A and B are shown apart, each in its own frame.
Chain A
């Protein structure tokens, strides 16, 4: 099965990335830690997004993606690795958050909310909840391969419906904690939804790339149908538009009211060279994929893969724009210190995904809706 590049290349890339990170921590710790935060958060987002993809389909009784479900299932395995990356940042470099470094002091509820102990406790609760649901949902799915008992499908639905609710609240708060509190004086209630939009759009892009690769030359050849690609393409298109919609909703209200404590977020991101990146973000996450994927035929040919790649680049830029201006002063820069953590996250994703994907049958053979997914008309 060809998921992975040859082992020595993987090992070499991982070594290079780790060396880059180690060097970065010595020579430019601020930039490296900022990139570690982005890369870990992005990696965690792919695992969490995979789980949400499964849960969303199960919760609304969608059957079209059943044949492809093992792909998001295997993606969930990267969740703990993303969480571990975040834990490293919290443990070794907590001063990335100004309130942790006591550079800022808050009183009352905000002071209580942004206290180190409560912050770490909350993070542990979020991640444990996600892992709990991940284990439950995937275990039930794997059990279906061995048993055709109908209670397994019911249990998956129940778990998925609960997870969607739990995910909405926990991820919303997690994005506040981990990203928004980098600038603790600034707040935006839509920030969680904005982060969800980026999370799910990037998840869809990765699912599409994996489906294309495994369908073209891997074990899913003959399983992946044009209908699947068409529907995944529609979802990517829709969620790219959703990202834009939420991005603009956040931007326009702040722009209109023009209150200094809110506007500072966008002022910082529109000063100097940041301004170009600010507009590039909109291009990569919305304009390019929108124009690329508009025709029906585009969702069935190479343009789908290109759109997915552009969206992934947009996701990296989006994370960069959320984190970097808050952590490191001065203009934007992207070098080895930024590339190394993302490279490591990529290697971890590929290795962990490949191992997880091999552990189960590549198609959920016991799912009662498999036949439907293999024959439906889009």
Chain B
């Protein structure tokens, strides 16, 4: 059945409110309104009956609460009682939070679902907008012509009285969906039925509790390789994980046989020599110096870093004769084991980088007068 519609577009919520009220007073049939946001009071102005969605919300919420309460009781009392802190199995306070959550979940999903159902919205459904700008800044009021005396001219006059910016006429053929939409609808039904069938089949299948359930991807749960901390009688120690033999050195490590004493620092100066260094390594040394050393020693090494400026005891200048006379290996020892107020840096800077810092300190000393 085709019906002829008159659509008025308005610029704001107040105008469409007054137009809808006037249209009702004039006895016109309001088909619907389209607004970019919910206009307060429009439902009463249109004469809509109170929404029944709140009943869906109430019933679904109660259903969720009751189901969850029963399920809590069934799991905690009937199926698998567990003693929690000596409390009775049937302890209502413990059930309340989750019951509340499930109530809200049921109520929320059911209300949104019911809204979609009532508004006939489903995936793939297309509803062409009569006035596309209602998604942005227009408010449209749609009137149906139900009798001959409700002439378009009369409706148009009423709309314009309420500051309508455009009035258009449409003929609704009554076809709500095209062929593509019908196909989509059918697909949705098929998918829903398939899901229901799967759930039903799952519920109908008998399970023997004596047969262990099947593992999905068992190699993830049960590794072929030995577990590190498992027992293993093949070894004398009785476990999979073995203690390394004495004198083992970690891959890439080069042990230093020194103590953190001034005497050993001197010895290191005699025994260790700096590896060859290139420009790139020297730049790295400069960066490391500015990161770790300059905070006390200062950018130039004279011992005026920001920490010193705030009261930390100043270190001896790296440019002093005493420091210039130090051997490379001795500076490396200081970096590694610390000296006086300076902490050891072995844990923060690896050996290769420490040698680069030594090279940069040498460059600093060479570049400035004592």
Contact = CB atoms under 8 A, between A and B. Distances in A.
Interface in A302-324: none
A296 B96 CA distance: 26
A98 to B, nearest CB: 29
B40 interface: yes
Interface stretch (A19-27, A119-127, A134-142, A252-260): A252-260
A378 B41 CA distance: 7
A377 B41 contact: yes
A252 B40 contact: no
A376 interface: yes
B178 interface: no
A378 B50 contact: no
B97 A296 contact: no
B40 A251 contact: no
B85 A252 contact: no
B97 A252 contact: yes
B93 A251 contact: yes
Interface size range on B against A: 10 to 19
A256 B93 contact: yes
Interface in B49-83: 50, 54, 58
Contacts of B39: 377
Nearest to A255: B93
A106 interface: no
B184 interface: no
Contacts, number: 25
Contacts of A252: 93-94, 96-97
A258 B86 CA distance: 10
B313 to A, nearest CB: 38
B132 to A, nearest CB: 26
A255 B97 CA distance: 14
A16 to B, nearest CB: 43
Contacts of B93: 248, 251-252, 255-256
Interface residues on A, range: 10 to 19
A258 B93 CA distance: 13
Contacts of A296: 50, 54
Nearest to A297: B50
Interface string A284-298: 000000000011100
B96 A378 contact: no
A255 B96 CA distance: 13
Contacts of A377: 17, 39-41
Nearest to B41: A377
Contact of A376 (B40, B54, B87, B97): B40
A252 B17 CA distance: 49
Nearest to A251: B93
A258 B41 contact: no
B107 to A, nearest CB: 12
Contacts of B40: 376-378
24 contacts: A248-B93, A248-B96, A251-B93, A252-B93, A252-B94, A252-B96, A252-B97, A255-B93, A256-B85, A256-B93, A256-B94, A258-B85, A258-B86, A258-B87, A294-B58, A295-B54, A296-B50, A376-B40, A377-B17, A377-B39, A377-B40, A377-B41, A378-B40, A378-B41
Interface of B: 17, 39-41, 50, 54, 58, 85-87, 93-94, 96-97
Given A258-B86, A376-B40, 16 more contacts: A248-B96, A251-B93, A252-B96, A252-B97, A255-B93, A256-B85, A256-B93, A256-B94, A258-B85, A258-B87, A294-B58, A296-B50, A377-B17, A377-B40, A377-B41, A378-B40
